[in-house]
Structure 1
């Protein structure tokens, strides 16, 4: 499993680790960023693109698309990329001061504590991603593409000066439009914008269309149709939809659907279109526009006010639900405890750094990384027949045989998990799932060696669920 564990270790650097504060430590801030080239949003400053769930950045209130204008009172726009990295990771200093502006606040100061840990340490969320074939239902990284076309004004205008909105008057005034506007209002509110029907900074206008395709000739007899999935933010899961891939020909679509959102200036230059996103979908069967708006309006508005992709937008969704005890392991010897998070379930139960976890739920952990790797790969191969082919998808790494467990075969899955030959000790990360543990008792038994003493410690973990969706 060295390849798998190392892939998890790479997650350690994914959320802004900037090298080591010493030869044995690596530090993370808990967010990723772009140096913006966008003349409408944070140009030459840092724009936050994602925030790691449960990180210090999230706890400090940092949110996607926040603009970081200063680091320790030094203007970001005045320093180079390498200097930015150094400023974000000052030697011998555990916290930094960031000056941030967003749609809701012109400026605020945030003290952010870095998370600095030994370089050989691997946390449970990283292990959950490394062992995610135990529970693809809860943990995976997937990509999808939406046929959005987004344009933004070529004028140099700072979108940070716009704070209020109003929906443009409609001649139709239909329930459909009201439903679409309700979804838009929810997303704009999340971004910090407020409604003002008297003197708004910008108008929101929608347009839409759905009908049979008069030029439909049928599906391509050559191409193998691939199922299309989109992420439903309201339900926090990927869902199969009856759409064709953006590369499909229009003649292959039985139906056509269009939905557009337009942001119109009312503050600086009345009537100027500031931003517009238009979705044009090819469908193999009928689909309600209301349902389309529920799923896709949040995705469309992810590019307002910060535009990254003008056409065929690629999204990356990381989902990870796992049992959190607070134990951080040695990635070179997974039975060794490097540290235990303060006030975590494991800490409260008495587990400490330098302890040795000899077994978890009756499964030994006394194996090398290579042995865990081989057993995990063999487990994946041997249990493919227990998966539901109707749920098949390709993950972000290109593995095309990802499938959920077949619900009718859960007892067989449990038996495979409990087989000591499969070295599935770290399946405890998913012990709350019925295919791992058919009981409702989510309490984990650890066999721990503390010095010369051996203990049986029962830990009641908390279930952590983290979801990030970002633009590729």
Structure 2
């Protein structure tokens, strides 16, 4: 194992636990003992083609207030509380959006094909110093990298620079010919564009989409150079399957492979032509090297959402980097005190924890029979020891680099699931926060899960707490949270 990488991950854990927001989603500010979040990130646009010095949304967290309000990446924030974002600094924009003295903020938004609209964006605010289960799942993610991780990957895409025109003028699109329009890849392109606010017409759209694919023998190929420069990176292409993102294996050579490697070269071109003056206003080209034949149209079906992530707000000219954020964990609604992890300092209203009877002020001694310490330093030190002792139970074939720079991330080897669960049961490892992943057999065995729930299909979490000096066990039926998404970095 790369021990430098391990210690880096522990450092990130300690930073997250001590700061309380280092790994949290979104930009946060505090005030009056409260910190707020809306679940979006933005960037000031310096492109005349889109945004033109306004704030442009570049990331929206699933399940967040911004997502529930229908905000999408690429949306322009024209005004905040009636003030033009062209005239505001980033510091002022952030402070106005996340002002903890108000539970909502008024925005004026714009997107392709849609008139500007007003939006009252609600905020999620918590007392400062609270560690949420979302944050803890990220901090202790090596209990289950299968569920909580960030995987960086780069696509071999080349974009044209935007032309000197505002893309807001384009509301409709059509394909250059009906033959290409009916290809599955073209339908995937159309789905992405309609999702961005444009309307598809059979003919006569303001944008004409030219869609071309090709697979040919690599003219630069040198016999004997089929090897991939970095085989692991073939595994980090991510497909959106019904809202869930899956890391699939593809035959493409890594982006750093020399052009003389690979027997075949695959090319996909998608061009946006202004139908009025026949000028190309935007395009993306994908070029992949591979050693066997592959259907280029199938490629677009899988990756249209990545190829078009750079429209209308162009942030890359070539080789864009993406990050898959995978976040699946159990949620009870308990908020932990960052200075005393045993102390419950917040219980979300209406949450499973509230319904089960957990209260602010309860002191947690164990969770699912695994002890919890109040000290952040103690928990992080033991976590480090657990990782070092159990690294032999990980499958080397699954190795990948995460977005924090640790290149030796690996999933648990299925043949050692029971050993991993057994190690977590050792009181010396203080595995209380493993309950966040207790829907998995390598955290809690099927027998333990059945004993806790009485139902093989359900998982319950047992909190042993001290209340008014009296110990008691409270059983909570948690929610399984899924917040996978892909970010254009």
Range into which the TM-score falls when normalised by the shorter chain:
over 0.9
Partner of 1:92: 101
* Residues in 1 aligned to 2:240 and 2:56: alpha-carbon distance in whole angstroms: 22
Gaps of 5+ in 2: 1-9, 447-455
Distance 2:115 2:171 in 1: 10
Task: Note if contact 2:373-2:430 (Cα within 8 Å) is conserved in structure 1.
Answer: no
Task: Report how far residue 190 of structure 1 moved.
Answer: 1.7
Q: What CA RMSD, in Å, does the superposition of the two structures yield over aligned residues?
A: 2.1
Please tell me whether the aligned partners of residues 331 and 480 of structure 2 are also in contact (alpha carbons under 8 angstroms): yes
Listed as ranges, the matches of 1:12-161 within 5 Å are: 14-17=25-28, 19-22=29-32, 24-90=33-99, 92-155=101-164, 157-161=165-169
Shift of 1:161: 2.3
Alignment counterpart, residue 459 of structure 2, candidates 422, 430, 442: 442
Alpha-carbon distance between aligned partners in 2 of 1:420 and 1:215, rounded to the nearest angstrom: 60
Q: 1:316 aligns with which of 315, 319, 323?
A: 323
Pair 1:418 & 2:435 matched: no
Matches within 5 A, 1:283-432: 283-432=290-439
Cα 1:74–1:131 change in 2 (3 A) is: same
Q: CA shift at 1:430, angstroms? A: 0.6
CA distance in structure 2 between the partners assigned to 1:334 and 1:61 by the alignment: 35
- Number of aligned residues: 464
Deviates more, 1:142-151 or 1:76-85: 76-85
Deviations 1:5-43 (A, max 9, x none): 4236344664021x3223x33222211000111211111
Distance 2:148 2:41 in 1: 20
Per-residue displacement from partner, 1:44-87 (whole Å, max 9, x unpaired)? 11111111222222222222111110001111112233332333
Shift of 1:174: 6.7
Counterparts in 2 of 1:109 and 1:258: CA distance versus 1, 3 Å? same
Check conservation: 1:143, 1:314, Cα contact below 8 A. yes
The correspondence for 1:262, drawn from 257, 271, 282, is: 271
Identify the residue that residue 279 of structure 1 maps to in structure 2.
Answer: 286
CA distance in 1, matches of 2:303, 2:100: 43
Deviation at 1:169, TM superposition (A): 0.8
**Match 1:458 to one of 465, 470, 475:** 475
TM-score normalised according to structure 2 size: 0.90
Contact 1:227 1:240 in 2 (8 A): no
Change (3 A) 1:247 1:2: closer
3-state SS, counterpart of residue 352 of structure 1: coil
1:152–1:193 CA distance, 2 compared to 1 (3 A): same
What is the CA distance between 1:198 and its match in structure 2? 4.2
User: Contact 1:28–1:114 at 8 Å: present in 2 too?
Assistant: yes
